[in-house]
Amino acid sequence: MPTLVAQSLTKSYPSAGGELPVLAGVSLSLERGENAAVIGPSGSGKSTLLSILGTLESPTAGVYELCGTAPFALAEAELAAFRSRHIGFIFQDHHLLPQCSVLENVLAPLLADGRASSSDVGRAEFLLDRVGLAHRRDHRPAQLSGGERQRAAIARALFRGPTLLLADEPTGNLDRTTAALISDLMLELQREYNAILIVVTHSQALAERLQRRFELDGGRLVPRA
C-alpha cells in the first residue's frame, strides 16, 4: 500500500444555489520521497485539495490514507496529534506567529502538546542552520525578508520530520531569484527527509522541477507533461 493513497475524493460546499461541487473524484498515490505539482486556475480547488490531504478539512466522500491510517476516522484530538506528527505545511504567506522569534516559530508545532526539551531546541537550531537562518534565530518575522520568512516556514514544517509536506504557492510572494532559491531548499530538504511533497503552484519553473505534474480540471486531477 503506498504511503499516501487518495481514492475518489469529492468535496462540495453548501451554497445559495445548492451544493457547489469543487472536487469531483480525485485519486492519487504517492510513496515517500516522491513529489508532485498541482496546477490549475484560481478557484479550481487546489487549496481545498491540500486542506483535505493535510487533514484540515474532511472530504464529502472518498478514501484517504496516510501511513496506513485513515485520519478522518480518528477522534478530534487524535487527528490533531496525527496531523502534527505527519504533516508539514508551507503557505504562500508564511503563517509565522508575529510575536514569536524565529526559533520559537520552528518549535511551535511542539508547544501544543508540551514544552520544548533541550534536544528539541538543538534540533530546531540545527534546522535553522540548515535553512541558512542561524543568525536570525532571535528575530521576529517582521524583521525578516520574504525569502527569510519562507526559510523559517520550511524549517517549521520539517521540525517533526513529517511524512507529507504540503506547499500552497510557496514562492507566490517572492521575486524570481528568491523563488528559485526557496524552491531549491524545499526540494533538497524533501529529499533529505525522504518526505512526500505536494506543491500547488502557478510557477511553471517550479512545476517543471517536480517528478509529477497534475492539473485540477473539472474537479479531477489530470496528469500533465
> Which residues of the shown chain bind ligand ADP in the complex (CB under 6 A)?
13, 22, 40, 42-48
Of 53 and 174, CB closest to ligand ADP: 53
Of 26 and 110, CB closest to ligand ADP: 26
Of 3 and 44, CB closest to ligand ADP: 44
From ligand ADP, Mg ion, none, interface partner of 196 (C-beta below 5 to 8 A by class): none
Interface segment toward Mg ion; rule CB under 5 A; list 2-10, 20-28, 45-53, 85-93: 45-53
What is the length of the chain? 225
Q: Which of 3, 35, 44, 47 binds Mg ion (CB under 5 A)?
A: 47
Which cell numbers in the block locate residue 181?
532559491
Specify the DSSP class assigned to residue 116. Answer: P
List the one residue out of 193, 109, 198 whose CA is nearest residue 156: 109
Of 22 and 155, CB closest to ligand ADP: 22
The DSSP-derived string for 164-190 is EEEEESTTTTS-HHHHHHHHHHHHHHH
To ligand ADP, the closest distance from the beta carbon of 223 in angstroms equals 18
To Mg ion, the closest distance from the beta carbon of 39 in angstroms equals 11
- Regarding 171 and contact with Mg ion (CB under 5 A), the answer is no
Of 22 and 182, CB closest to ligand ADP: 22
CB count in 10 Å sphere of residue 70:
11
- Regarding 101 and contact with Mg ion (CB under 5 A), the answer is no
Specify the DSSP class assigned to residue 74. Answer: S
- Regarding 105 and contact with Mg ion (CB under 5 A), the answer is no
To ligand ADP, the closest distance from the beta carbon of 173 in angstroms equals 15
Q: How many helices (H) and strands (E) does the chain have?
A: 7, 9
CB count in 10 Å sphere of residue 19:
11
11 burial (CB, 10 Å; 0-12 / 13-18 / 19+) is buried
Of 21 and 33, CB closest to ligand ADP: 21
To ligand ADP, the closest distance from the beta carbon of 54 in angstroms equals 12
Q: Please state, in angstroms and rounded to a whole number, the distance separating the CA atoms of residues 113 and 111.
A: 5
Residues that bind Mg ion (CB under 5 A): 46-47
